[in-house]
């Protein structure tokens, strides 16, 4: 009986951790909506595609973090409007919305796949 209880506890903990880990997209979406845009770097894949306005590169997570910080130094976050989270957490999710900044309006899209951000785009809102 003692081993059965240990098994049940481990199974429950593992199951709850698995389900929490599978919805990274929701957590990234919430951070973005709250204006905590610089905190999402912890979800970057080791290599990811980053497009900031006209410049698009395949970068490591440190380079991507530096580029995005630079963008938000020049364009302070104001709000994320009309944001949407779509997709299936077990496969991939997209976060899209209109990014309001102190120096303009942009479209933002983030691709979350395998519990990591693989694509981050901030484009002109034309």
Reported pTM: 0.79
- At residue 125, the pLDDT reads 85
pLDDT tens track, the chain, 126 positions: 555 444 444 444 444 444 444 588 999 999 989 999 999 999 999 999 999 999 999 999 999 999 999 999 999 999 999 999 999 888 899 999 999 999 999 999 999 998 999 999 999 987
CA nearest 89: which of 23, 40, 14?
A: 23
In a domain, 43, yes or no: yes
pLDDT at 126: 73
Q: In this predicted structure, what is the pLDDT of residue 20?
A: 41
Enclosing domain of residue 47: 23-124
Contact in structure between 26 and 39 (CB atoms under 8 Å):
no
CATH number at residue 50: 3.10.450.50
Structural domain includes residue 1: no
């Amino acid at each position: 009986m003692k081993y059965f209880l240990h098994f049940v506890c481990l199974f429950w903990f593992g199951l709850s951790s698995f389900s929490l880990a599978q919805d990274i997209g929701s957590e990234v979406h919430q951070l973005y909506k709250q204006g905590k845009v610089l905190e999402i770097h912890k979800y970057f894949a080791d290599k990811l595609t980053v497009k900031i306005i006209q410049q698009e590169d395949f970068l490591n997570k440190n380079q991507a973090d530096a580029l995005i910080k630079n963008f938000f130094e020049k364009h302070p976050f104001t709000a994320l409007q009309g944001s949407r989270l779509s997709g299936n957490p077990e496969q991939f999710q997209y976060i899209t919305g209109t990014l309001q900044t102190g120096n303009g309006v942009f479209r933002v899209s983030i691709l979350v796949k395998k519990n990591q951000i693989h694509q981050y785009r901030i484009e002109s809102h034309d």
